[in-house]
Amino acid sequence: MLLCKKSLLITLILFPLFFSANKSTAQNINTIIIDSPKGIAGNYQIYPAVFGDVLTVELSAECTFVNDEIEPITDACQVPNLSINDRIAFMDIGTCSYGEKALNAENAGAILAIICNTEINGGPIFNMGGGTIGNQVSIPVFSMSYNDCLTIRSIGESTVFTSQLMSMCLPELTPQVIWGGLTGEGDFNGGINDWTVDCGMDTCWYWEADGYAGGSFTDNYIFSPTVCNGAMVFSSDLLDNGGMFSGTIGAGTGGCAAPCFGSLISPNINLSNIDIDFLELKFHQHLPL
């Protein structure tokens, strides 16, 4: 949570909907840092798919956009002809499944696939499943937003570029931040800290060190810019039925029968010495579709 002069920013992730059997205690890889060339150097957010390998360690590698020589040449719906051996392969959404394009890149020697959203201004692709052949993919697969890919492809489609993949805390820091930018100011580093929880029954919000949210629908990691500090989770199906059942079977056996109510309450913030005109509330959430 960041408190800003003229703006109050709260990052809150609720009910992440992902389907995966993979679980790791390592921090999520959420960032690719492009080192060179200078024109596209910078940090870019990436989002893991729910198929393929789970990347749990930092990785440095060369990158390139695929070229399968059939329009659109960058969708990897055919095995790419341009050399991507031992490289991170960037590719676009096409007419084939995510699993098919990732497997084509893997068969051409790629060590990791990054799939670009082609919807204008679209963000990273959430719930990116592998389709019928996703279980054959053994390399890590990530997605990236339209705008970030647009920036990178301006140079990256015609050259090989270098990068590092890692886990980073990326809070929304601006010159207007007056609270939340320092360790101990509202973060979840090591636990709930100064926040409080008010539950309708025995349980509701709970803290997870690695941001993992359990349940039949929420079986994956919360993708938050500050997940390296841990995260607060409210998993509706896990709380209602233990995440093991569907429909009305097992309802109420998870400790907080639906509808389950719970509040996550921030610490008191003293603004008496801060000159502000107004505050704006902003939050991010994932909700069931």
Tell me: do 194 and 257 sit in the same domain.
yes
Min mean pLDDT across 43-57, 76-90, 123-137, 199-213 is at 199-213
Write down the pLDDT at residue 173: 65
Q: What is the mean pLDDT of residues 83-91?
A: 94
CATH number at residue 107: 3.50.30.30
Give the start-end residues of each E strand in 145-238. 161-166, 177-179, 196-199, 206-208, 212-213, 220-221, 231-233
Tell me: do 112 and 156 sit in the same domain.
yes
How sure is the predictor about 171, in pLDDT bands with cuts at 50, 70 and 90? low
Q: What is the C-alpha separation between 32 and 95, in angstroms, rounded? A: 26
Which of 150, 166, 182 corresponds to the end of one domain? 166
Tell me: do 117 and 80 sit in the same domain.
yes
Write down the pLDDT at residue 63: 95
Tens-place pLDDT, residues 193-243: 999 999 877 788 989 887 778 777 777 667 666 777 788 888 888 888 887
Q: When comparing pLDDT for 275 and 99, which is higher?
A: 99
Tell me: do 48 and 154 sit in the same domain.
yes
Which of 143, 166, 189 corresponds to the end of one domain? 166
Average pLDDT, the chain: 81
Q: What is the pTM of this model?
A: 0.65
Residue 64 lies in domain: 31-166
Paired strand residues for 208 = 231
Write down the pLDDT at residue 71: 92
Tell me: do 53 and 129 sit in the same domain.
yes
Query: Per-residue pLDDT for 6 more than 60?
Result: no
Tens-place pLDDT, residues 95-121: 999 999 999 999 999 999 999 999 998
Tell me: do 90 and 214 sit in the same domain.
no
Which of 166, 186, 202 corresponds to the end of one domain? 166
Q: What is the mean pLDDT of residues 126-146?
A: 92
Min mean pLDDT across 33-42, 77-86, 174-183 is at 174-183
Tell me: do 49 and 90 sit in the same domain.
yes
Tell me: do 1 and 42 sit in the same domain.
no
Query: Per-residue pLDDT for 9 more than 60?
Result: no
Query: Per-residue pLDDT for 282 more than 70?
Result: no
Tell me: do 19 and 122 sit in the same domain.
no
Q: Which two tokens stand for residue 115?
A: 């799939």
Query: Per-residue pLDDT for 15 more than 80?
Result: no
Nearest to 197 by CA among 188, 185, 210: 188
Tell me: do 204 and 114 sit in the same domain.
no
Q: What is the mean pLDDT of residues 239-252?
A: 75
User: Do the bridges between strand 141-144 and strand 212-213 make them parallel or antiparallel, or are there none, so unpaired?
Assistant: unpaired
Tell me: do 62 and 117 sit in the same domain.
yes
Number of domains the chain contains? 2
Tell me: do 127 and 2 sit in the same domain.
no
Q: Tokens 């009305």 correspond to what residue?
A: 248
SS3 content of the chain, % helix, strand, coil (to 5): 15, 25, 60
Write down the pLDDT at residue 285: 59
Instruction: Note whether 129 and 102 are within 8 A (CB).
Output: no
